[in-house]
C-alpha cells in the first residue's frame, strides 16, 4: 500500500449498480416470469419485466379449431382456477349464438366458478405466505384445496383440467349427494379461514412485511387496467358479478370487499374476505338450485342423445354434422366479460359464420395486473418485490397465453 493511503482518507466502497435477473426459473416467481432489476445495495432502483416464456399460441390455436374444442384450452389459461375460464368461454359462445343455458346448468356454473375462485385465492395466499416464511398456512390452504379438488373429481372425473362446461350447459349433472358434500366442505372453509387469518392478519411480522409494500394506488390501477382483488384493494369498487351480473348473480346476496391501502396486506385481506363471500354464494346456490336438464335441448348446438344417434338416421346425421362441421354462430363480433379470480376475464370473438372463430382475443386479467409490477417494486427491497409479486397472483398461463 502506498504512502498516501495510509493517511486518514477513506476510500468509498464501489457504488456501481448491480444488475441481476430474477427468474424465469426462480422459485419465488411461481411460474415463468423474468424480472431484471438494478440494485443499489438491496434497493431496486430500476426494474423491467419480460414475459412470454409460457407463450403457447392460444389465440392462434383457437382460430384453428371449432368453438367447442377451445374449451379445454381455456382451462390452461388460469390453471389455478381452471373451470371458471371454460365456464366463461361457453357463456361467451352462448351469447354469440343467442342461446341460454338451462337454470340448473347455470347454477352449477356458479358453484364450480366460485369453487375455482376459492382455490385460486387459497393458492395465492398460501404461496405468498410461504415466500415470506410462513409455511404453516401453506399446508392449511393446500390441504383445503385438496378437498375442493376431490369435489371436482367427484363431479367431473378430473381434478384440475376438468373440461366440465359445454356450449349450452354443462356436460354432467351433479351426482347424488354431491351438493351436500359441497356444503360440508364449505362448512370447513370457515374453520380454515379462521385459522389462517388468526395466524397472519394481526401478526406483527406479516404486517411489517406487507403493509406499505408494493402499493398500487387507484390512479395506477386505472392507468394499468388493474382489475379484480388488486383493484378492490386499491379502493376500486367494481366487481362484474355485482355491476354487470351474469349467471343470475343478482339473485345472491354477497358483498364486494374493498380496502383502501392498495398494498400487499390489503390484497391479502381482500382475498380472505372474497373467499368468505364465495362461500356464501355457493351455499345460496345450493339452496336455490332448480331441477331440470343441464343442457339446452336444441340439437342445433348440442349433441343428440345416444339412443337417437344409434337408432335413427336423423340422430346420426345430427351428430355427424355437429362433430364434423361444428356449431355455426352468426357472422358477428362480441365481447364477453366475467369476473375471474384475478379480475376481468374477457373474450372478444370475431365470427365469420364458420365453425371456428375468425379471431379470438382473450383479455387475461394477469397481463394488465403484471404490467404495473415493475413500477410498484421500484424503490423497494428485493424481498418486498417477492412479497408483492405473490400478492398480485400472476398466473403465467394466462399472462403469456
Partner 1 sequence: MMTEADVAARVQEHFGTAVLDTYTFRGQCSVTVAPGSLRAVLMFLRDQLGFEWLMDVGGVDYLGYDERDWRFEVVYQMLSMANNVRFRVKVAVADESTEVPTVYDLWAIANWEEREVWDMYGIVFTGHPNLRRILCHDEFVGHALRKDYPITRRQKLSAPSENILCETSDIA
Q: Is 328 in the site for partner 1 (CB under 8 A)?
A: no
Which region, judged by CB under 8 A, interacts with partner 1, from 81-89, 152-160, 182-190, 333-341?
A: 333-341
CB of 89 to partner 1, least distance (A): 16
Q: What angle do helix axes 135-156 and 178-200 make, rounded to 10 degrees?
A: 170
Which residues, in sequence order, are bridge partners of residue 346?
A: 337, 363
CB 79 within 8 A of CB 395: yes
CB of 372 to partner 1, least distance (A): 8
Query: Applying CB under 8 A, which of residues 43, 163, 181, 378 lies at the interface with partner 1?
Result: 378
Q: Spell out the residues 6+ positions from residue 198 whose beta carbon is closer than 8 angstroms to its own.
A: none
CB of 172 to partner 1, least distance (A): 29
Task: Write out the DSSP string of 216-282.
Answer: --HHHHHHTT--THHHHTTT----HHHHS--TTGGGS-------SS-SHHHHHHHHHHHHHHHHHHH
CB of 206 to partner 1, least distance (A): 28
CB 171 within 8 A of CB 163: yes
Least Cα distance to 31 among 39, 22, 41, 20 occurs for 22
Subset of 269-288 contacting partner 1 (CB under 8 A): none
Question: What dihedral angle (degrees, nearest 10) is formed by the CA atoms of 257, 394, 79, 218?
Answer: 30
Count residues binding partner 1 (CB under 8 A).
53
Which region, judged by CB under 8 A, interacts with partner 1, from 7-15, 33-41, 182-190, 256-264?
A: 33-41
CB 370 within 8 A of CB 214: no
Determine the 3-state secondary structure of 354 from DSSP: coil
Which region, judged by CB under 8 A, interacts with partner 1, from 6-14, 61-69, 138-146, 158-166?
A: 61-69
CB of 391 to partner 1, least distance (A): 19
d(CA 51, CA 167): 32
Q: Is 38 in the site for partner 1 (CB under 8 A)?
A: yes
Which triple of cell numbers denotes residue 398?
A: 394466462
Subset of 210-249 contacting partner 1 (CB under 8 A): 220, 222-225, 227, 236, 238, 243-244
Cβ proximity to partner 1: between 33 and 134 the closer is: 33
Residue pointed to by grid coordinates 352449477: 108
Cβ proximity to partner 1: between 200 and 394 the closer is: 394
Phi first, then psi, for residue 153 (nearest 5°) are -65, -40
CB 127 within 8 A of CB 140: no
List the x/- string, 85-124, binding to partner 1 by CB under 8 A. Answer: ----------x--x--------------------------
Q: Is 400 in the site for partner 1 (CB under 8 A)?
A: yes
Cβ proximity to partner 1: between 150 and 250 the closer is: 250
Q: Is 361 in the site for partner 1 (CB under 8 A)?
A: yes
Cβ proximity to partner 1: between 89 and 164 the closer is: 89
Q: Is 260 in the site for partner 1 (CB under 8 A)?
A: no
**Distance, CA of 385 to chain centre:** 21
Task: Write out the DSSP string of 108-135.
Answer: HHHHHHHHHHHHHHHHHHHHHHHHTT-H
Cβ proximity to partner 1: between 274 and 344 the closer is: 344
Task: Write out the DSSP string of 28-57.
Answer: GGSSS-EEEEEEETTEEEEEEEE--TT---
Cβ proximity to partner 1: between 59 and 173 the closer is: 59
**Residues in the site for partner 1, rule: CB under 8 A?**
19, 34, 36, 38, 46-52, 55, 57, 59-61, 63-64, 95, 98, 220, 222-225, 227, 236, 238, 243-244, 332-335, 337, 344, 346, 348, 350, 352, 358-359, 361, 363, 367-368, 371-372, 374-375, 378, 400-401
Amino acid at each position: 500500500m502506498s504512502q498516501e493511503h495510509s493517511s486518514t482518507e477513506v476510500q468509498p466502497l464501489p457504488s456501481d449498480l448491480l444488475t441481476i435477473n430474477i427468474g424465469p426459473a426462480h422459485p419465488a416467481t411461481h411460474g415463468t416470469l423474468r424480472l431484471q432489476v438494478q440494485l443499489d445495495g438491496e434497493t431496486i432502483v430500476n426494474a423491467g419485466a419480460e414475459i412470454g416464456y409460457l407463450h403457447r399460441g392460444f389465440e392462434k390455436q383457437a382460430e384453428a379449431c371449432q368453438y367447442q374444442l377451445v374449451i379445454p384450452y381455456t382451462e390452461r389459461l388460469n390453471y389455478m382456477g381452471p373451470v371458471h375460464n371454460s365456464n366463461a368461454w361457453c357463456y361467451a359462445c352462448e351469447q354469440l349464438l343467442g342461446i341460454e343455458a338451462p337454470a340448473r346448468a347455470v347454477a352449477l356454473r356458479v358453484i364450480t366458478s366460485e369453487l375455482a375462485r376459492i382455490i385460486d385465492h387459497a393458492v395465492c395466499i398460501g404461496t405468498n405466505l410461504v415466500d415470506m416464511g410462513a409455511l404453516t398456512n401453506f399446508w392449511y390452504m393446500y390441504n383445503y384445496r385438496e378437498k375442493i379438488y376431490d369435489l371436482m373429481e367427484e363431479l367431473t372425473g378430473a381434478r384440475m383440467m376438468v373440461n366440465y362446461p359445454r356450449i349450452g350447459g354443462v356436460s354432467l349433472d351433479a351426482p347424488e349427494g354431491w351438493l351436500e358434500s359441497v356444503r360440508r366442505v364449505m362448512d370447513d372453509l370457515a374453520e380454515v379461514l379462521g385459522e389462517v387469518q388468526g395466524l397472519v392478519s394481526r401478526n406483527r411480522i406479516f404486517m411489517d412485511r406487507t403493509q406499505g409494500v408494493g402499493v398500487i394506488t387507484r390512479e395506477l390501477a386505472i392507468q394499468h387496467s388493474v382489475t379484480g382483488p388488486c383493484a378492490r384493494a386499491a379502493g376500486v369498487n367494481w366487481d362484474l358479478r355485482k355491476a354487470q351480473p351474469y349467471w343470475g348473480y343478482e339473485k345472491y346476496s354477497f358483498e364486494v370487499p374493498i380496502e383502501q391501502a392498495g398494498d400487499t396486506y390489503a390484497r391479502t385481506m381482500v382475498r380472505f374476505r372474497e373467499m368468505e363471500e364465495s362461500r356464501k354464494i355457493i351455499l345460496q346456490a345450493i339452496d336455490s338450485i332448480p331441477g331440470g336438464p343441464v343442457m339446452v335441448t336444441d340439437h342445433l348446438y348440442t349433441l343428440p342423445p345416444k339412443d337417437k344417434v344409434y337408432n335413427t338416421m336423423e340422430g346420426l346425421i345430427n351428430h355427424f354434422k355437429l362433430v364434423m362441421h361444428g356449431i355455426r354462430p352468426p357472422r358477428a363480433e362480441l365481447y364477453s366479460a366475467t369476473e375471474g379470480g384475478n379480475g376481468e376475464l374477457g373474450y372478444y370473438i370475431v365470427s365469420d359464420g364458420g365453425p371456428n372463430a375468425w379471431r379470438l382475443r382473450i383479455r387475461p386479467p394477469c397481463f394488465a395486473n403484471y404490467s404495473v409490477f415493475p413500477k410498484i417494486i421500484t424503490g423497494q427491497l428485493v424481498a418486498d418485490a417477492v412479497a408483492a409479486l405473490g400478492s398480485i397472483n400472476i398466473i403465467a398461463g394466462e399472462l403469456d397465453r
